Amino acid sequence: MSAPRRPVDPSGLERYYVLTGGRSGPGGSASSLDVATLIVSRAAPVPGMQHEHEEILRRCREPLSVAELGAHLGLPFNILAVLLTDLLEADRVEARDPIPAHDAGRGPDLALLEEVLSGLERL
Amino acid sequence: MDLKGFDQPGSPAGDGTRSVKVMIAGGFGTGKTTMVRSVSDIKPLTTEETLTEASAGVDHLIGVADKTETTVSLDFGKIGLNDELVLYLFGTPGQERFWFLWNGLFKGALGAVVLVDTRRLASSFRAIEEMERQDVPFVIALNVFPDSPEHPVDEIRDALDISPDIPVVACDARDRSSSRDVLVALIRHLKERSAVVALEPR
């Protein structure tokens, strides 16, 4: 399972280069993206849009995690993060970070833990 | 064009669904993916990250850049906790050295389950150290294999050298309700920790 696999093959790298216009890592608004961040579309795809952008907007009508998007689109996290930055900056998607156990300055969130617990107990 | 779900373009779409994440860590072959699979509502998926690392200590050819790209995979699943809250479970890569390279892998996680194979305790030492180093709250889940020797929990706790307040539970990672119980143990542990923290003077 998991662990390192073969080094990325050159054709894959070329594809990623084209997809991202050669940008290698997320900056700005996407730098905080997490694998569990939920992406929600805020706009419909428009004609002429890059195929992957369109695909993201279509798949995220219902909130979908970055990890799921990556798995469905067959894109590694760092490449997907670049594409998501474009959409975030254009205000076409909304990103909701996972809720941490405790927010800075607010102390541990017992209500959240209770909510998780009752959800698990219903399984 | 199909505009279903976009009746009000420009306004926040969708519902108020939020997510939480829990990491499933442990040594190679301790059953991380098995646990994700047994408890997930969806067929587990795999997401990847391309990591660049300096290839120190690795034979390299003259003229070849001293950096290598490695693809690291995370197996994950999800559990719908209620209409507006989804729990994502991520099985960590088998080789702990990749945890450093994947920035923020543990950041924002509620906590972690460290799976331990009692036949090979040592294989989870690194995972435990890493949780302690990164200050990620965790519980130990002893994945009981058919030929696992019976060890009293205290003995295992000693061997793993973990603090007395960290819960150690036995489980069968292949079983959905058993894996669910491990997650319940983790959340209860987090609640207890919160209570302790809340009582401490500021």
Mutation target to probe the A interface, by most A beta carbons within 10 A, among B3, B21, B32 is B21
B52 — contact with chain A (CB < 8 Å)? no
Q: Which pLDDT does position B1 carry in this prediction?
A: 44
Chain A residue with minimum CA distance to B40 = A123
Beta strands A64-65; A38-41: pairing state: antiparallel
Q: Which of A59, A66, A29 is nearest to B13 (CA)?
A: A59
Q: Which of B110, B108, B114, B120 is nearest to B145 (CA)?
A: B120
A61 — contact with chain B (CB < 8 Å)? yes
A84 Cα to chain B: minimum distance (Å) = 15
Q: Which of A9, A67, A121 is nearest to B187 (CA)?
A: A121
What are the extents of the domains in chain A? 10-98
Q: How many helices (H) and strands (E) does chain B have?
A: 5, 7
How are the residues of chain B apportioned to helix, strand and coil, as percentages rounded to the nearest 5? 30, 30, 40
DSSP-assigned beta bridge partners for residue A86? none
Nearest to A41 among B13, B98, B111 (CB): B13
Nearest to A115 among B17, B33, B81 (CB): B81
Q: Do A2 and B18 touch (CB under 8 A)?
A: no
Q: Which of B85, B25, B156, B190 is nearest to A38 (CA)?
A: B85
Q: Which of A41, A17, A39 is nearest to A30 (CA)?
A: A39
Q: Which pLDDT does position B60 carry in this prediction?
A: 45
Tell me how far the alpha carbon of residue B90 is from its chain's centroid: 5
Report the distance separating Cα B149 and Cα B119, nearest Å: 7
The CATH architecture of the domain made up of B18-199 is 3-Layer(aba) Sandwich (3.40)
**Model confidence over A32-51: pLDDT tens digits?**
799 999 999 999 999 999 99
Does this model's pTM top 0.90? My answer is no
Say whether B191 sits in a helix, a strand or coil: helix
Low-confidence spans in chain A with pLDDT less than 50 = 1, 6, 8-10, 29
Report yes or no: B161 and B124 within 8 Å, Cβ to Cβ. no
B50 — contact with chain A (CB < 8 Å)? yes
Report yes or no: B19 and A36 within 8 Å, Cβ to Cβ. yes
A52 Cα to chain B: minimum distance (Å) = 16
Chain A residue with minimum CA distance to B70 = A7
Greatest Cα pair distance in chain A: 48
Q: Which pLDDT does position B26 carry in this prediction?
A: 93
What are the extents of the domains in chain B? 18-199
- pLDDT tens over chain B, length 202 residues: 444 444 444 334 447 999 999 999 999 899 999 999 999 999 999 998 887 766 544 444 444 455 677 778 899 999 999 999 999 999 988 777 777 667 678 888 999 999 999 999 999 999 999 899 888 999 999 999 888 888 888 899 999 999 999 999 999 999 999 999 999 999 999 999 887 766 665 5
Say whether A92 sits in a helix, a strand or coil: coil
Report yes or no: A87 and B47 within 8 Å, Cβ to Cβ. no
